Amino acid sequence: MPEIPDLEGYRAYLNARLPGVRVSHALVTIPIVVRSGREEFATLAGEAFAEARRQGKYLLFPFESGRLMVVHAMLTGRFQYCDPAQKRRARTAFVLALENGMELRYFDGRLMGKVYLAAGEGGLAAVVPRWAEMGPDAMSPSLTEELFVERLRKYRGQVKTVLTTEQCVAGIGNAYSDEVLWEAGVHPYRRRAELSDDKLRDLFRAVRSVMDWATPIVVARMEAEGLPDDHYRDHLRVHRKGGQPCPRCGTRISEITAGQRITNFCRKCQE
């Protein structure tokens, strides 16, 4: 699933190319993904892109008219920005032909992602399910350390589950929650109620530190290598590094798979 660094990479890459570019034709190829329907999506023809932004795990593509296209890529949603002659990926869900001669495409191997159209900022809650329930973005300036602690205090489950709960804090997923917990020295299966407020503050600082470190790496790679078929993960310290030495203490990194979710952590330096 794309998380904050991945989505910031998409945002930076596409903002270097899309703002001011007009859509010449909008085509839905898999209606189950594009929830607005073919006819409404076709009305994007003539719209000009403004600068894309991110909210939690959503990418928002505003147009100069004020309308927005909202993409929640879920596990396998990916973008292509390419020449129209390039072969379409399997399960391409929409194609936006652009007046600059390029195409913006979205493909999704498991068809789990969703694409919505909103009339404006005020219409997001009406068309995007659970939009109004979403917690503050993990990187929002309005999410202070004290507010982060206050929000986490409301949950009593395992701390990794709490960090990845969108209604608590938005934008952190499975991969980067492993990195945040390793950075803070917190065991992923500890219950949130067992953690002191000081440890919750450590988690807040770890969230900001990990995202500030990882995001420029992903942004630079996307600009240099293009939009990826899969997410860049080889820079991560513990996630998907099961059996390798912990970068901090050298202990073998543990890997546990439960509910189709892989969790990696160090048994020695995460308590």
Q: What's the chain's Rg over C-alpha atoms? A: 19
Fold of 145-265: Helicase, Ruva Protein; domain 3 (1.10.8)
The DSSP element (H or E) to which 53 belongs, if any, is: strand 53-55
What would the CATH number be for the domain defined by 4-127? 3.20.190.10
Note whether 13 and 2 are within 8 A (CB).
no
The pLDDT tens digits for 91-109 are 999 999 999 999 999 999 9
- Of 2, 5, 136, 188, catalytic: 2
The pLDDT tens digits for 149-203 are 999 999 999 999 999 999 999 999 999 999 999 999 999 999 999 999 999 999 9
Q: pTM value?
A: 0.96
- Of 3, 47, 103, 183, catalytic: 3
Q: Is 57 a catalytic residue?
A: yes
Q: Is 3 a catalytic residue?
A: yes
Q: Is 2 a catalytic residue?
A: yes
Listed by start position, the domains of the chain span 4-127, 145-265
Predicted confidence (pLDDT) at residue 259 exceeds the cutoff of 90: no
Q: Is 5 a catalytic residue?
A: no
Shared fold status for 4-127 and 145-265: no
Number of H helices, E strands in the chain: 7, 10
Of 68, 70, 73, 61, the residue nearest 3 (C-alpha) = 73
The pLDDT tens digits for 233-242 are 999 999 999 9
Note whether 115 and 108 are within 8 A (CB).
no
- Of 110, 261, 267, 271, catalytic: 261
